[in-house]
Amino acid sequence: MPIYNAPVEDMMFLFEKLRNNKKYNEIDKYKEFNPDLVKDILEEAAKVTQNLILPLAKSGDENPAILENGVVRTPPGYKEAYKKFIEDGWVSLSCDPKYGGQGMPKTVSTFFDEMLSAASLSFKLYSELTIGAYNCLLNHASDEIKNLYLPKMVEGKWSGTMCLTEPVCGTDLGLLKTKAQEQSGGTYKISGQKIFITSGDHDLTENIIHLVLARSTDSPKGTKGISLFLVPKFIVNTDGSVGSRNGVSTGSIEDKMGIKGSATCVLNFDEAVGYMIGPKNKGLNSMFTMMNLERIIVGIQGLGISEIAYQNSLSYAKERKQGKSHNSKSNNGADLIIEHADIRRSLLNMKSIIEGERALSFWLSQQIEVSLNHNDEKTKQEASDFVSLITPVVKSMFTDNAMEITSEAMQIHGGYGFTKDQGIEQLYRDNRITPIYEGTNSVQAADLVFRKLITKNGDVIDRYIQLVKDEIDFKEDKAQFYVKELNKNIETLVKFTEWIKDKVKNVPEDASAACNDYLKVLGLVATGHAWIKVLEVCYKEYENNKEFYEEKIQTAKFFFNRVLPKAESHFLTATTGSKYIMDYKFN
């Protein structure tokens, strides 16, 4: 079984030293969450993930969720762990106190999401979709629905799902066939089939609250005719008690490459009672509240899996002896593989990406809170625009990097990494879903280029680039190498942005073929921006914690020398256009 130690020190560094967003600090309700309180929370979270959740990873992989006589049964140990998990209040961490939540800001709950993802992604998914459904209902449901459903969801006794995908449609939801027939009492009868439904059925909670996209029988075709419905597994009585079984059944569960402990279900809706959420025919608008936050969380899943892969690779490299390094001082026997330059390169590549991503996600979590909770509408909108811009970057870049990092981790472990003994190959398999679900990374790249750079609120990408330029302009002499390198890559991003804007208007195929490269360049610059913010603290406070800050500086040095320069390559290859791609004749 892999080892895992939650990186509480690094998380606390970010919370204490990079919580310098003036607009975030103007949100009154979060002022009580001081570093001492947050440290206590993270240390308890570390104990839970390391001691309770981590052992479930192997259990879930070796004994997957199964469908037995119409009932989905979770792997051994899940029910007991989940009971303890909700009793200790971990589902409610970021939820509104009005419904029984603890009201933690995203700047804290995101750290916990990372820990859970590292310990056992399969187990995490049972509560993760509940929070997604909670957020959707909180923003779009009537007070009657919220008061009836949210307290039990926040408590963790009821769970939630999002039901979008069908056999005939994935990303192209305009093709969906699930129907909603309105009834005399204002409810609807929902009929259709949904596939790939994470946590679609299980034995952990008393009820499961499905959020289902469907088309009312009198609605137009395409995405403009889609509405959102709440469809409980069991009908909920007016007093909040669980009543009779609704017309929802599990047809099958998928036999998957990874996250085997998570039940991925085919759900059949046979005239199931549903309640419309939000305006009719505006279901996608409501569901995107859930989906956009989920896309960020999927990125955090990649970060968490990257962290545990790195920790185990570092530990193994310090123990495994193989060959002689070129600087060997040993007169007999082999050297530890951590003495070999290429192994050190791999480890530093992992570390520099992980710590940069964590800093970037912390910056994004502050922007999310500003977009949701600031008193000034203009400030909220600006933060919301930045969140929309960076969301596809975090989802795609973090998960793609996690594939690279888990692959490198297997390589460092050699033959042992390919066997099940070390648990490294499971990390690779479990992470493989993250670039796929919640919209594939190619879809994320297209969304960024064709929908997020310029919106009804103006030129978001230019405003973001200006923000980055303004925030990296600090004068510490020792930091000028990093500032210079980032500025050089910002100019690459500026040139790429001008090119992509022109192609979106005039040669869309060129823009489409360049989407993934553009996302990667923006992601590298965004991570470089996060690293500069870290370095600014390191140089200003160096004498207060020399060992910690020196390690940060050396890690940043690798990122700016070895990782950030990849932006230029992406720019050069992408701007060769698409004609030679589209003209190719496949046999």
Q: What is the DSSP letter of 451?
A: I
Give the per-residue pLDDT at 285.
85
Q: How far out from the chain centre does Cα 226 lie?
A: 26
| Cβ atoms of 305 and 406 closer than 8 Å | yes
What distance in Å separates the CA atoms of residue 11 and residue 7, rounded to the nearest whole number? 6
Tell me if residue 438 is catalytic. yes
Give the per-residue pLDDT at 526.
98
Give the per-residue pLDDT at 551.
98
Which residues are bridge partners to 275 per DSSP? 230
Q: Identify the helix (H) or strand (E) that includes residue 253.
A: strand 248-253
Among 142-156, 243-257, 469-483, which stretch is predicted with the lowest mean pLDDT? 469-483
Q: Is residue 539 part of a domain?
A: yes
Q: How far out from the chain centre does Cα 459 lie?
A: 25
In the predicted model, is pLDDT for residue 53 greater than 90? yes
Under the banding of pLDDT at 50, 70 and 90, the label for residue 14 is very high
Q: Is residue 330 part of a domain?
A: no
What distance in Å separates the CA atoms of residue 180 and residue 277, rounded to the nearest whole number? 13
Q: Is residue 165 part of a domain?
A: no
3-state DSSP assignment of residue 107: helix
Q: Which structural domain range is residue 546 located in?
A: 441-580
Share of the chain above pLDDT 90, in %: 88
| Cβ atoms of 64 and 432 closer than 8 Å | no
Q: Which residues contact 331 (CB under 8 A, 6 or more apart)?
A: none
Give the per-residue pLDDT at 331.
65
Domain count, the chain: 1
Q: Is residue 570 part of a domain?
A: yes
In the predicted model, is pLDDT for residue 443 greater than 90? yes
Q: Is residue 552 part of a domain?
A: yes
Under the banding of pLDDT at 50, 70 and 90, the label for residue 4 is very high
Q: Identify the helix (H) or strand (E) that includes residue 277.
A: strand 264-277
| Cβ atoms of 18 and 537 closer than 8 Å | yes
Q: Identify the helix (H) or strand (E) that includes residue 363.
A: helix 341-373
In the predicted model, is pLDDT for residue 337 greater than 70? yes
Q: What is the pTM of this model?
A: 0.96
Catalytic residue among 271, 438, 485, 491: 438
Give the pLDDT confidence of 456-486 residue by residue, as tens digits. 989 999 999 999 999 988 777 888 999 999 9
Q: Is residue 502 part of a domain?
A: yes
| Cβ atoms of 294 and 136 closer than 8 Å | no
Q: Would strands 66-68 and 71-73 be described as parallel, antiparallel, or unpaired? A: antiparallel
Give the per-residue pLDDT at 476.
77
Nearest Cα to Cα of residue 82 among 260, 203, 204:
204
Q: Is residue 559 part of a domain?
A: yes
Q: Is residue 211 part of a domain?
A: no
